[in-house]
């Protein structure tokens, strides 16, 4: 293709394109402006959400830590824990069956007044 | 100083001044991006959505040097347009305008500034160009639009299209040939 002809062709099409750029409707220009306005706002808007998420996460961890049993408690109650562990090792129904104190107490005179209360 | 690029090479086009902020860059490229998307998508709303998405994606590159924004933006927009075109294939065809005057009907055009006859002539000339561009394979359309209409240099066009500079020249040459055949008939 002849370079001069090529250059004329490019110039002509560029002019048609430039005219089209100048004739974009106000509605489209408004939407482009709106789209552009959203761009710089986005990273700034993300920070409050990130901060709020981080804060609520930390709060949840702190509350969770409050509910955890303290590390020294098991040391102080060691015998009780040992007894509890021994009882836990037995099956549930054998505890009642093999403890005569409960049946003795039920048969005693202390039980009916307590039940009447 | 202008340097003669030698025989067989594309003449380098004067580069516009660099934008100092991303907002300024997007303000300058907005209508151009819209026209590019409109030619590829045949729908004003789809074109605006693609441009808006591309602008949002540019946020990730705001820390990059301003020199890189132009090829990056066009590359993002080009990929967005391909995505929307894929989605459009699933839509019912009768929902879109078809037929002879499709290019002109789907073009956004404000008539207020010029006299009716001049504005009509300009609109017709651009509608013919868009119709011819829409008839080209996507790569040829991209090469012609970015290189000739958007006046990007070969290196930036290659970066925006994700191909070699040689491929850009091949696509551009084929696009020019096909467009000239179609558009010269009207003159």
Q: What is the ipTM of this complex?
A: 0.81
Considering chain B, what is the average pLDDT of its residues? 82
Those residues with Cβ within 8 angstroms of residue B29's Cβ, 6 or more apart along the chain or in another chain: B70, B73
Number of H helices, E strands in chain B: 8, 0
**Is the CB of A13 less than 8 angstroms away from the CB of B179?**
yes
Model confidence pTM above 0.90: no
> What is the chain A residue with the closest CA to B47?
A28
Which pLDDT value is given to residue A37?
Answer: 83
Q: Which residues of A touch B44 (CB under 8 A)?
A: 28
Residues A96 and A102: beta-carbon distance below 8 Å: yes
Residue B183 in contact with partner chain A when CB distance is under 8 A = yes
Give B86 to chain A, closest Cα distance, Å: 23
Sequence-ordered list of residues with C-beta below 8 angstroms from that of A32, at least 6 positions apart, any chain: B30, B31, B34, B48, B51
Mark which residues 114-173 of B lie under 8 Å from A by CB: 119, 122-123, 125-126, 129, 148-149, 151, 173
pLDDT surpassing 50 at residue A79: yes
Q: Assign B70 to helix, strand or coil.
A: helix
Distance (Å) from the C-alpha of residue A52 to the closest C-alpha of chain B?
23
Give residue-wise pLDDT tens across range B10-37.
444 445 667 678 888 999 899 999 999 9
Confidence band, pLDDT 50/70/90 cuts, at residue A1: low
Q: Do residue A14 and residue B151 have CB atoms under 8 angstroms apart?
A: yes
């Amino acid at each position: 293709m002849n370079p001069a002809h090529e250059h004329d062709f490019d110039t002509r099409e560029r002019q048609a394109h430039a005219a089209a750029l100048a004739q974009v409707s106000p509605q489209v220009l408004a939407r482009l402006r709106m789209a552009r306005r959203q761009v710089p706002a986005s990273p700034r808007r993300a920070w409050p959400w990130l901060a709020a998420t981080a804060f609520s996460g930390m709060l949840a961890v702190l509350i969770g830590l409050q509910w955890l049993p303290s590390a020294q408690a098991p040391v102080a109650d060691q015998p009780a824990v040992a007894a509890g562990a021994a009882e836990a090792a037995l099956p549930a129904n054998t505890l009642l069956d093999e403890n005569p104190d409960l049946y003795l107490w039920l048969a005693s005179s202390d039980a009916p007044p307590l039940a009447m209360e | 100083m202008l340097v003669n690029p030698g025989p067989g090479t594309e003449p380098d086009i004067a580069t516009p001044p660099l934008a100092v902020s991303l907002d300024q860059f997007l303000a300058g490229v907005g209508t151009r991006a819209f026209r590019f998307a409109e030619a590829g998508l045949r729908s004003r709303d789809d074109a605006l959505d693609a441009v808006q998405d591309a602008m949002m994606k540019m946020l990730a590159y705001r820390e990059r040097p301003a020199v890189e924004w132009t090829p990056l933006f066009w590359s993002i927009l080009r990929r967005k347009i391909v995505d929307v075109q894929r989605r459009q294939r699933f839509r019912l065809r009768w929902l879109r305008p078809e037929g002879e005057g499709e290019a002109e009907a789907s073009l956004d055009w404000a008539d207020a500034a010029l006299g009716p006859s001049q504005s009509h002539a300009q609109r017709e000339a651009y509608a013919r160009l868009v119709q011819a561009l829409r008839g080209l394979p996507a790569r040829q359309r991209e090469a012609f639009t970015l290189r000739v209409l958007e006046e990007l240099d070969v290196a930036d066009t290659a970066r925006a299209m994700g191909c070699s500079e040689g491929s850009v020249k091949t696509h551009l040459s084929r696009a020019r040939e096909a467009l000239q055949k179609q558009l010269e008939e009207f003159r």
